[in-house]
């Protein structure tokens, strides 16, 4: 039961409320008791004083002592009180018995003030069995000089019974209030946590197959709404990345199928006849070799990207000269360029020390050069140069090729994206046709070095790619 937030919330709520109510009740009870005792003291004190004053006035008016005392008591003493007037020696002048025929006895000297008025508590006596509060007042006559003691007494039972009632009310109302508050708290907690229950149920239903589903957002401004919205954003990201993975798988299998089917056709056609001439076998093997190369390249590219995605391709950094790397790469690409009748121009470069992954950067420049040569007609020029800009080294590859159509320019860095798929596949026998991964890999390499790769410009006169690499970047790896 305590495993549910709802029960814990309710218990906490009731617990805190119980503490507050008990503290409040105890305080109210004691304040009220003090007030009631004060009022009792006031009552007996004032009455003793007033009765004394009235008794003396009557005597001054000429009434005999006993009669004056009896009528003063009569005038001032109510039914719940007992009263008596004594002279200083303890002789009873007059008395007015209280409930249950209670008569006030002469007091021990402890209970008689020297002068004026005082209030005391009389311990319970055998007859009545209750404690009493007494107001004792001195009253004196000037001529003939004589002193009297007026005593007014009331038992505590009225105050005690009032307090008993208050205790009863508190004992009854506090638990009832707590029970009601607990019930209310339980329903409130249930209501507030209802979206959580709904979210849990909905989250249970979501799996890789239906990642497009979302959690219900009841109120997007409260905490639970924000939680649901955040969870939904997470789902959206997961959905996107699953979709990307699925597309990657579909594209990859598609790309792998083409060379394999070309190879199978070549073998099938060759093996159809019992005997073939040597040149026919050579031609078939050439086709198979080209496709095997193509397969190798696609698989290697996919492997590079997969390791980049999983973060397992750590950069192997070392110090080298960027100008040397560019020179060597241009030389390597020269073979392909010569075959195509395209010339490669490389700027005269000074020594440029650099720190990074030499192998990956070589692949990046080679991919860019490879693309440039592939898309430049014979007689064209591919230029490789380097510029320094705001602490970055800009490796620039420009060509005088066919250019990239404007509508395709934003997609060329996507995986498996090729501008003209139909044309590429039609000429799939050409092992140089890539799978559309070259620029994706080049871009990742630039970004892994805290840099970026951009298509600066492209039209019918040619294209220019710029890879900017921070010269002093703390690259990850
Ligand atoms: P691939 O490995 O198939 O060459 P890339 O990712 O390197 O794929 O390039 C994607 C597409 O961008 C290519 O299909 C190509 O049409 C286009 N492209 C890339 N570089 C150039 C360039 N220098 N000139 C014209 N088109 C280019």
Q: Tell me which of 364, 406, 412 to substitute to probe ligand 1's pocket, judged by most ligand atoms within 8 Å of the beta carbon.
A: 412
- Residue 44 confidence (pLDDT): 94
CA 176 to chain centroid: 36
For the Cβ of 297 lying below 6 angstroms from any atom of ligand 1, the answer is no
Residue labelled with tokens 């799939």: 428
Distance 208 CA to ligand 1 centre (A): 33
Neighbouring C-beta atoms of residue 149, cutoff 10 Å: 23
The DSSP H or E segment spanning 118 is strand 117-122
133 CB neighbour count, 10 Å cutoff: 20
pLDDT at residue 431, rounded to an integer: 46
* pLDDT of res. 361: 95
Cα separation, 235 vs 256, in Å, equals: 31
- Whether 342 lines ligand 1, by a CB cut-off of 6 Å, is no
Whether the full predicted model's pTM is greater than 0.85, yes or no, is no
Per DSSP, 477 falls in state: -
- Can you read off the two tokens belonging to residue 163? 């307090």
The pLDDT value recorded for residue 473 is 52
Q: Does the N-terminal peptide bond of residue 144 adopt cis geometry, omega within 30 degrees of 0?
A: yes
pLDDT at 421: 65
CA–CA distance, 325 with 328 (Å, rounded to integer): 5
438 touches ligand 1 (CB under 6 Å): yes
User: What distance in Å separates the CA atoms of residue 307 and residue 313, rounded to the nearest whole number?
Assistant: 5
Ligand 1 centroid, distance to 260 Cα (angstroms): 22
Give the distance (Å) from ligand 1 centre to CA of residue 411. Answer: 10
Tokens of 155: 């038992």
- Ligand 1 atom nearest the C-alpha of 372 is 23
Ligand 1 pocket test, candidate residues 298, 396, 410, 439, most atoms within 8 A of CB: 439
The encoded tokens of residue 197 equal: 């229950």
198, two tokens? 């709904």
Phi, psi torsion values for 234, nearest 5 degrees: -60, -45
Tell me how far apart the alpha carbons of residues 115 and 138 are, in angstroms, rounded to a whole number.
6
Alpha-carbon distance 243 to 236, whole Å? Answer: 10
Q: Which residues of the chain have pLDDT under 70?
A: 1-2, 127, 312, 421-433, 472-477
Calpha distance 340→334 (Å, rounded): 10
Distance from C-alpha of 169 to C-alpha of 183, rounded to nearest angstrom: 21
* Entry field: residues in the chain: 477
Distance CA 272, CA 2 (A): 78
User: Residue 3's pLDDT is what?
Assistant: 77
Neighbours of 12 (CB within 10 A): 12
């Amino acid at each position: 039961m305590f495993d549910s937030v709802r029960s814990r919330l309710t218990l906490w709520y009731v617990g805190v409320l119980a503490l507050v109510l008990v503290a409040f009740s105890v305080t109210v009870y004691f304040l009220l008791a003090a007030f009631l005792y004060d009022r009792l003291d006031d009552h007996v004190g004032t009455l003793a004083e007033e009765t004394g004053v009235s008794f003396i006035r009557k005597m001054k008016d000429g009434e005999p002592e006993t009669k004056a005392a009896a009528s003063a008591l009569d005038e001032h003493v109510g039914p719940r009180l007992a009263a008596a007037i004594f002279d200083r020696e303890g002789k009873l002048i007059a008395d007015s018995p209280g409930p249950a025929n209670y008569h006030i006895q002469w007091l021990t000297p402890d209970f008689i003030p020297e002068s004026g008025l005082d209030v005391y508590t009389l311990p319970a006596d055998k007859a009545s069995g209750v404690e009493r509060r007494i107001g004792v007042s001195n009253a004196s006559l000037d001529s003939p000089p004589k002193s009297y003691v007026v005593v007014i007494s009331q038992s505590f039972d009225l105050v005690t019974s009032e307090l008993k009632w208050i205790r009863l009310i508190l004992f009854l109302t506090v638990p009832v209030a707590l029970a009601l508050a607990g019930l209310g708290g339980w329903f409130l907690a249930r209501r507030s946590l209802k979206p959580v229950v709904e979210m849990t149920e909905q989250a249970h239903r979501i799996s890789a197959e239906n990642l497009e589903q979302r959690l219900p957002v009841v109120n997007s401004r409260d905490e639970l709404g924000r939680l649901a919205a955040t969870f939904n954003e997470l789902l959206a990201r997961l959905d996107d990345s699953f979709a990307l993975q699925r597309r990657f798988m579909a594209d990859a299998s598609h790309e792998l199928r083409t060379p394999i089917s070309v190879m199978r056709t070549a073998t099938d056609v060759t093996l159809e006849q019992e005997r073939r001439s040597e040149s026919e076998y050579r031609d078939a093997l050439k086709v198979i070799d080209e496709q095997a190369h193509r397969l190798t390249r696609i698989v290697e590219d996919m492997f590079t990207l997969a390791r980049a995605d999983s973060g397992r391709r750590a950069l192997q950094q070392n110090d080298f000269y960027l100008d040397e790397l560019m020179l060597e790469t241009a030389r390597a690409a020269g073979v392909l360029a010569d075959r195509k009748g395209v010339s490669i121009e490389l700027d005269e470069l000074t020594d440029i020390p650099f720190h990074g992954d030499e192998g990956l950067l070589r692949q990046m420049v080679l991919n860019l050069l490879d693309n440039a040569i592939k898309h430049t007609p014979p007689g064209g020029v591919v230029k490789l140069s380097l510029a320094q800009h705001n602490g970055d080294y800009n490796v620039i590859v420009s060509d005088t090729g066919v250019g990239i159509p404007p509508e395709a320019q934003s997609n060329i860095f996507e995986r498996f994206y090729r501008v003209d798929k139909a044309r590429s596949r039609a000429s799939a026998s050409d092992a140089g046709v890539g799978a559309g991964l070259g620029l994706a890999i080049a871009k990742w390499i630039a970004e892994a070095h805290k840099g970026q790769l951009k298509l600066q410009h492209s039209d019918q006169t040619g294209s220019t790619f710029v890879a900017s690499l921070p010269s002093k970047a703390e690259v990850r790896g």
